[in-house]
């Protein structure tokens, strides 16, 4: 076993928006097959494919109606097998999204469970009686707005949904649910996938006593994707997720995965203290990797990055982190951090996150420097955005189709795309950037190829150096190889003095805006980067 996942660069494919081959305006599995050569040319190690399973698409695939089949919108199981075969032929590992905590209300399990209180699936979901006045059993709120309980007249009970009402939560306190879940995971492992990205993994278990969540002070009501008026932020979510019973289940999941050669589980974790939960959920007997939303926030500074990574490093033990600065749930990084349209910034961000200790998820379009798209309300698709408009515009702005060439719909589809392709994205299309040696795409390709040469950047330990804004500096060390990494995160030049005793030799070939060293004074241009070996 070579532990390919340690230090891996994982490219997230959002199937609806990657490439459409049949003209229906929605990307599909054959489109991913067509795009695999492009992905391989980036120099990534693996792909993570967001859900493509059968679904009514209330939450665009994160509401699964059949865990073991492909939705016709995306293709067939044969198409997935072809994708797997081509990816493996190109040396690319394939990870798939698994949504274990909840499913679609159209899933056969839920359709049976909701019928009565005494059917074989009666206890497969979180059902609870109303209070004396008919109101929900407790104060838990849904992340997507409103209370987390929906009435079912057949049973005269409420069911729990931490997300949409169409996404009922499974009852993981029931051993039969745990086993059925593991069986579904095994189905895809038997098919040959190399790993799982586990969506909202800390939401599987709830407090069996259904205790109320305590209120959160107004100054603490922050979190990823929260609209200012989202009542979800008004509580500490101690009882509706991140329960201690989750740890034995993670160990069962790991035991299953350890029966397969060299596969990996990556958990998405969003809790009251996501870094602490990530450390707790990863390790030799639990998940291989975990990632949280700490670098998917609006805060962008050298101090924030240093403090966030250092805190996780302190807590991590034998676990392994995975970092991301963009994904399908948050505004794109170049816009979120104020650098939209700045090619040097876009390339530097990829290099920065790929230089931290851990694995990395790059979101499709990040390699093109795509900014957050403005999607007008009348074209909005995301139910989250529709609920909280205009205070929060939802997630559609980061989900618009990948532009392949400067054409209608960006060459993504011959039909009307499910979300619009903005003009500024068409100008950053793949074909144009492949023809331009100074494009963000070419810089990312050069950097990822260069990174592979240095085991310290892939697997090494990390030690941060004290710096003032806007300089981020750290050491990466592995098996005698010592590298100094320095980034100027601002749009202005900056000087930084190397610590006493550092005998540094600059490295070239990384393709970024390079700094120059005069004695111990490092002159960093705007968005400048510096990599050096230390004696």
> Which residues belong to the active site?
199, 268
- CB atoms near residue 533 (< 10 Å): 15
Distances (CA, A) of 331 to 26, 57, 62, 362, 373: 21, 21, 19, 14, 9
Helix (H) or strand (E) holding 178: helix 175-191
In sequence order, the β-bridge partners of residue 529 are 487, 514
Kindly report the backbone phi and psi dihedral angles of residue 146, in degrees, each rounded to the nearest multiple of 5, phi listed first. Answer: 85, -175
- CB atoms near residue 136 (< 10 Å): 17
Q: Which letter does DSSP use for residue 321 in this model?
A: B
> Among residues 184, 122, 177, which one has the least CA distance to residue 154?
122
Mode of pairing for the β-strands spanning 127-128 and 157-160: antiparallel
288, 282 Cβ separation under 8 angstroms: yes
Q: Which residues contact 31 (CB under 8 A, 6 or more apart)?
A: 15, 18, 19, 20, 21
Mode of pairing for the β-strands spanning 494-497 and 53-54: unpaired
Q: Under DSSP, is residue 377 helix (H, G, I), strand (E, B) or coil?
A: helix
Kindly report the backbone phi and psi dihedral angles of residue 476, in degrees, each rounded to the nearest multiple of 5, phi listed first. Answer: -125, 130
- CB atoms near residue 116 (< 10 Å): 11
214, 236 Cβ separation under 8 angstroms: yes
User: What is the DSSP track for 73-141?
Assistant: TT--HHHHHHHHHHHHHTT-EEEEEE--SB--TTSHHHHHHTT-SSSTTTTSB-EE---TTS--SS--B
> Among residues 110, 116, 27, 11, which one has the least CA distance to residue 63?
110
Helix (H) or strand (E) holding 69: strand 66-70
Tokens 């700045």 locate to 342
Phi-psi group of 307: left, alpha or beta (phi > 0 → left; psi -120 to 50 → alpha; rest → beta): alpha
Query: Using CA atoms, how far apart are residues 283 and 281, in angstroms rounded to an integer?
Result: 7
Query: Using CA atoms, how far apart are residues 253 and 246, in angstroms rounded to an integer?
Result: 11
């Amino acid at each position: 076993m070579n532990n390919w996942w340690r230090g891996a660069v994982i490219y997230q494919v959002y199937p609806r928006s990657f490439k459409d081959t049949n003209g229906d305006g929605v990307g599909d599995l054959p489109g991913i097959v067509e795009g695999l050569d492009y992905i391989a040319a980036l120099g990534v190690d693996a792909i993570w494919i967001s859900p493509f399973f059968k679904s009514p698409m209330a939450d665009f695939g994160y509401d699964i109606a059949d865990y073991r089949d492909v939705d016709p919108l995306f293709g067939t199981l044969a198409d997935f097998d072809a994708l797997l075969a081509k990816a493996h032929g190109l040396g690319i590992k394939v990870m798939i999204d698994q949504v274990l905590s909840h499913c679609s209300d159209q899933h056969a399990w839920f359709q049976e469970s909701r019928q009565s209180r005494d059917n074989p699936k009666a206890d497969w979901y979180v059902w609870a009686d109303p209070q004396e006045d008919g109101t929900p059993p407790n104060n838990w709120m849904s992340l997507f707005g409103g209370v987390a309980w929906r009435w079912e007249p057949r049973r005269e009970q409420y069911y729990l949904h931490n997300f949409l009402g169409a996404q009922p939560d499974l009852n993981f306190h029931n051993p039969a649910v745990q086993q059925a879940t593991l069986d579904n995971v095994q189905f895809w492992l038997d098919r040959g996938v190399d790993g799982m990205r586990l969506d909202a993994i800390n939401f599987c278990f709830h407090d069996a006593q259904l205790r109320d969540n305590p209120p959160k002070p107004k100054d603490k009501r922050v979190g990823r994707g929260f609209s200012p008026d989202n009542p979800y932020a008004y509580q500490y979510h101690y009882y509706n997720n991140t329960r201690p019973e989750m740890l034995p289940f993670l160990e069962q999941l790991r035991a299953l995965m350890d029966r397969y050669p060299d596969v990996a589980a990556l958990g998405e974790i969003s809790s009251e203290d996501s870094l602490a939960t990530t450390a707790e959920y990863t390790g030799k007997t639990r998940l291989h990797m975990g990632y949280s939303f700490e670098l998917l926030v609006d805060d962008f500074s050298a101090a924030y990055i240093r403090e966030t990574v250092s805190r996780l490093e302190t807590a991590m033990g034998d676990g392994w982190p995975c970092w991301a600065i963009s994904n399908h749930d948050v505004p794109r990084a170049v816009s979120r951090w104020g650098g939209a349209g700045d090619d040097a910034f876009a390339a530097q961000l990829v290099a920065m996150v790929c230089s931290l200790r851990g694995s990395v998820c790059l979101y499709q379009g990040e390699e093109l420097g795509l900014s957050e798209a403005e999607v007008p309300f009348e074209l909005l698709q995301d139910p989250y955005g529709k609920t909280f408009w205009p205070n929060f515009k939802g997630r559609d702005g980061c989900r618009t189709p990948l532009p392949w060439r400067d054409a209608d719909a960006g060459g993504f589809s011959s039909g009307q795309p499910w979300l619009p392709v903005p003009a500024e994205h068409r100008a950053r299309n793949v074909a144009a950037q492949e023809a331009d040696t100074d494009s963000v795409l070419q810089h990312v390709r050069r950097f990822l190829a260069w990174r592979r040469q240095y085991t310290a950047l892939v697997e090494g330990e990390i030690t941060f150096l004290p710096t003032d804004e806007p300089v981020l500096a750290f050491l990466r060390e592995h098996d005698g190889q010592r590298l100094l990494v320095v980034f100027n995160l601002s749009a202005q030049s900056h000087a930084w003095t190397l610590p006493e005793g550092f005998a540094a030799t600059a490295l070239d070939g990384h393709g970024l805006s390079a700094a120059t060293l005069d004695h111990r004074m490092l002159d960093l241009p705007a968005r400048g980067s510096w990599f050096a070996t230390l004696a």
